[in-house]
Amino acid sequence: MTDYAKKTVAELHELLKARSLPYSGKKAELVARLQENDSSRAAAVESEAAPPATTTPETVEPIPAQQPTLAKPVDPVDAPAVPAPPAPSTDPSTTTNSVPASTAPASTPSFAANLSTSTLESELEKRKARAQRFGASLDQVNEAEKVAQRAQRFGLSNGDAEEKSGVKGLDEALPERRERKFGGRGGGGGGGRGGAGFRGNGNRRRGNTPRIGEKGQVQKQSPGISEKDRAAAEARKKRFAA
């Protein structure tokens, strides 16, 4: 190893510059810096010259293949007896006819034209306001209102009260054909449109207005429903329910 202590500071500077090392400091620092560099270079040379360590490969023992296990043959004596399938019966008394499931009844079509449901009270109020607006008589509306109140007082349903009073809601289905003149329900002379300045379903025959018969006699109509009206209503109900 070179004795750097005997060299001058200028020589030490040249050596440090040649090794790309810093050359600032006192002489002792310069000497120590050169010695440290020499020792690191010697260790690198020794590591390059040393032969690489060889490792002996480990012997791998082969794994013996497993023998497949064979299923034990079944003794025909020990095998359970399988029952034979029953023979198809040809007796007509035992054969059952397959009946298809009944389909659900088709829903009854609605002819209400998406109108909002109107109650008996609201319908009477509408007709009363319409009669007042057009200056018509309120006798028939008042009579229908009395009949409806009487029907509700005796515990009838809303539909029965409408049938008794002769006032139907505006949301009911339209008839299939117009009622002919003098041929409407109950023999009313108003046809498809009611009298007294407002539209109704045969309300003239239920009011207090008298009508003239075939021989010129004045006949007063009863406020109740006739048998012909009831039969026509039942026929229409069956037709729509079919």
Query: pLDDT, tens digit, for every residue of 4-47?
Result: 788 888 888 888 888 888 888 888 888 888 888 888 888 888 88
19 shares a domain with 127: no
Q: Is 106 a member of any domain?
A: no
What span, in angstroms and rounded, lies between the C-alpha atoms of 125 and 128?
5
Would you say residue 66 has pLDDT above 70? Answer: no
Question: Of residues 240 and 68, which shows the higher confidence score?
Answer: 240
Q: Number of structural domains, the chain?
A: 2
| pLDDT confidence of residue 49 | 72
Amino acid type, 5: A
125 shares a domain with 17: no
Contact assessment for residue 209 and residue 188, using Cβ atoms and an 8 Å cutoff: no
Instruction: Give the mean pLDDT of 150-158.
Output: 67
Q: Is 104 a member of any domain?
A: no
How confident is residue 186, by pLDDT bands cut at 50, 70 and 90? very low
pLDDT tens digits, residue range 141-151?
677 777 777 77
Kindly calculate the radius of gyration of the chain based on its CA atoms and give it in whole angstroms.
59
133 shares a domain with 41: no
Q: Is 79 a member of any domain?
A: no
Which phi and psi angles does 211 have, rounded to 5°? -125, 160
How confident is residue 164, by pLDDT bands cut at 50, 70 and 90? low
Instruction: Give the mean pLDDT of 76-90.
Output: 60
Q: What is the mean pLDDT of the chain?
A: 65
Question: Of residues 235 and 1, which shows the higher confidence score?
Answer: 235
pLDDT tens digits, residue range 102-118?
555 556 555 544 544 45
What span, in angstroms and rounded, lies between the C-alpha atoms of 173 and 201?
12
- The structure tokens listed for 105 are 């009844």
Q: Is 181 a member of any domain?
A: yes
13 shares a domain with 124: no
Buried-state track 100-137, b at ≥16 Cβ within 10 A, e below 16? eeeeeeeeeeeeeeeeeebebeebbebbbeebeeeebe
Q: List, in sequence order, the alpha helices (H) in the chain.
A: 9-18, 27-49, 120-133, 139-153, 158-165, 227-241
Amino acid type, 61: E
| pLDDT confidence of residue 238 | 86
126 shares a domain with 39: no
**C-beta neighbour count of 185 within 10 angstroms:** 18
Range of the domain at 9: 4-45
Q: Is 51 a member of any domain?
A: no
How confident is residue 188, by pLDDT bands cut at 50, 70 and 90? very low
35 shares a domain with 133: no
| pLDDT confidence of residue 48 | 78
Q: Is 66 a member of any domain?
A: no
Which phi and psi angles does 34 have, rounded to 5°? -70, -40
pTM: 0.22
Would you say residue 225 has pLDDT above 50? Answer: yes
Q: Is 93 a member of any domain?
A: no
| pLDDT confidence of residue 118 | 53
Q: Is 91 a member of any domain?
A: no
40 shares a domain with 131: no
How confident is residue 163, by pLDDT bands cut at 50, 70 and 90? low
